[in-house]
Amino acid sequence: MVREISHFVGGAARAGASGRFGDVFDPSTGEVQAQVPLASRAEVEAAIANAQDAQPAWAAWNPQRRARVLLKFLDLVARDTEPLARLLSSEHGKTVADARADIQRGVEVVEFAAGAPHLLKGEYSAGVGTGIDVYSMRQPLGVVAGITPFNFPAMIPLWKMGPALAAGNAFILKPSERDPSVPVRLAELFLEAGLPAGVLNVVHGDKEAVDTLLDDDRVKAIGFVGSTPIAQYIYATAAANGKRAQCFGGAKNHLIVMPDADLDEVADALIGSGYGSAGERCMAISVAVPVGEATADALAEKLVERVAKLRVGPSLDDTVDYGPLVNAAAVERVTRAIAQGVADGAELLADGRGLTVPGHEHGFYLGPTLFDRVTPEMDLYRDEIFGPVLIIVRADDYEAALRLPSEHAYGNGVAIFTRDGDTARDFAAHVNTGMVGINVPIPVPIAYHTFGGWKQSGFGDLNQHGPDAFRFYTKTKTVTSRWPSGVREEASFVIPTME
């Protein structure tokens, strides 16, 4: 009998009642290791009701007391990092080392959110008129929800829970149904850290659960991360229903290689950021753009050498560079994209299709794939592949290289490798993309700055983590207060001004 995963509502595990389940695989073996319940509308509504009941008392705790729960939670995550990382790795397929990093990047945002007493401070202007002071305060929205993707089952839920809870909201998480166990463990740890029951709930599910969160008036904000079509759907529906929404989508991240760059350093950076986690990262570099034919030829040679040495295998094996993809559908989708690239005339330098790992013949593996001479019209360039596929698009000069990411439909991350400060500075100023790396291949900003892509990679006007997270999860109330000290004014029929 396979393990049955539970929802986590009102501070307790709740077995699924809808009768609908999804399979949770062990991608390294291809076996079903658990069943995840897919919540009905009624089950999601029950979670919302729990959150609604618990939120006012939580919001009434002073911010420092709420922050202490986050600090205690951080201790518990530190205690449990190893089992959490192994659980994460076994459901997602990323290596244990990468799973630890997934948890750690989430932890860093909770550490930042523990600064809530400072971040929630309002503004004050004394004496704006006779006896008049103005101040503003940040108040929680109430019940808010997060809908998160499979590829960072710890980091992205924590990016949302940390600031939302610290700001005094109750939170409902609808994690990916493909690797749902770690989010539940995180909610259990929050309860153990002293979070009142009902303040944090996890409901598993698919479109039915998501649509319930979108439709329900009690849910005031939705934070989404996932693919672009779903991000657009959720953003449009949430907005039409009067909710605040921030929705982050897919990506096609370029790395520009200037002729003066150290090509060994560049090749290592491309291998790590292109194939790490089997390319299933929204900040993976999937397009290398060498400038000039000589740079391109030399880089391609170095990449081919390195790709041949990559070790692919089960995610719990510490000696592999990357593990399997998340499921068989992902392997099929990426395999189709590779075939399309070949049909479109791109030059296949390394073909990862059909990889079998001895002893794990049914696992969802794909070897590293490398294409050269890809052109901007090809699907390989236009579409997000989300697999271990790196493509080279050759550019004649810096201007042509700058245009590629700037004109691409996605605008998540981008990088440039160069020794020239002028070029780097010009690039950072002009590239039409949300996050930029200069000699840094995966420019995921640290917790106290914000993370967010542009164009088809992000919908909404506030980013994730950093001060934007507190802006997103709070509403500002502004109070104008007058204590006239005995000065009595006549009724006025003119709007007050500051003359």
Active site amino acids? 282
Select from 177, 185, 247, 172 the least CA-distant residue to 216.
Answer: 172
Q: How far is the CB of 413 from ligand NAD (least distance, A)?
A: 9
Is 81 strand, coil or helix? helix
- What's the rounded Cα separation, in Å, for the pair 313 and 96? 12
Structure token pair of residue 324: 């399997």
With CB under 6 A as the rule, give the number of residues binding ligand NAD: 26
Nearer Cβ to ligand NAD, position 445 or 453? 453
Which window, 225-233, 361-369, 414-422, 479-487, contacts ligand NAD (CB under 6 A)? Answer: 225-233
The verdict on 412 binding ligand NAD (CB under 6 A) reads yes
What count of other Cβ atoms lies within 10 Å of the Cβ of residue 297? 12
Binder of ligand NAD out of 11, 16, 198, 249 (CB under 6 A): 249
Question: Is residue 220 within 8 Å of residue 239, measured between CB atoms?
Answer: no
Which DSSP letter does residue 452 get?
A: -
Q: How far is the CB of 199 from ligand NAD (least distance, A)?
A: 21
Residue list 256-315, contact with ligand NAD (CB under 6 A) = 282
The verdict on 43 binding ligand NAD (CB under 6 A) reads no
Is 316 strand, coil or helix? coil
Question: Is residue 435 within 8 Å of residue 443, measured between CB atoms?
Answer: yes
* First CA to last CA distance, the chain: 76
Nearer Cβ to ligand NAD, position 322 or 386? 386
Nearer Cβ to ligand NAD, position 50 or 457? 457
The verdict on 465 binding ligand NAD (CB under 6 A) reads no
Residue list 146-205, contact with ligand NAD (CB under 6 A) = 147-152, 174, 176-177
Question: Is residue 149 within 8 Å of residue 179, measured between CB atoms?
Answer: no
Question: Is residue 429 within 8 Å of residue 407, measured between CB atoms?
Answer: no
> Using CB atoms within 10 A of its CB, is residue 80 exposed (0-12), middle (13-18) or buried (19+)?
middle
Q: Which residues contact 484 (CB under 8 A, 6 or more apart)?
A: 130, 131
Q: How far is the CB of 159 from ligand NAD (least distance, A)?
A: 9
Which window, 95-103, 224-232, 316-324, 366-374, contacts ligand NAD (CB under 6 A)? Answer: 224-232
Q: How far is the CB of 358 from ligand NAD (least distance, A)?
A: 29
Nearer Cβ to ligand NAD, position 26 or 177? 177
Q: Give the nearest residue (CB) to ligand NAD.
A: 226
Nearer Cβ to ligand NAD, position 120 or 283? 283
- What's the rounded Cα separation, in Å, for the pair 115 and 62? 13
Binder of ligand NAD out of 322, 386, 398, 427 (CB under 6 A): 386
Q: How far is the CB of 194 from ligand NAD (least distance, A)?
A: 28
CA 259 to chain centre: 33
> Could you give the string, one character per residue 443-462, with x where binding to ligand NAD holds by CB under 6 A and - elsewhere?
----------x---x-----
- What's the rounded Cα separation, in Å, for the pair 288 and 253? 9
Extended beta strands in 322-388, E state:
347-350, 369-372
Nearer Cβ to ligand NAD, position 177 or 216? 177
Q: What angle do CA 32, 35, 36 make, to 5 degrees?
A: 135
The verdict on 225 binding ligand NAD (CB under 6 A) reads yes
Select from 186, 138, 45, 91 the least CA-distant residue to 476.
Answer: 138
Nearer Cβ to ligand NAD, position 398 or 451? 451
Which window, 4-12, 145-153, 346-354, 465-473, contacts ligand NAD (CB under 6 A)? Answer: 145-153
Q: Which residues bind ligand NAD (CB under 6 A)?
A: 147-152, 174, 176-177, 206-207, 210, 225-227, 230, 248-251, 282, 384, 386, 412, 453, 457
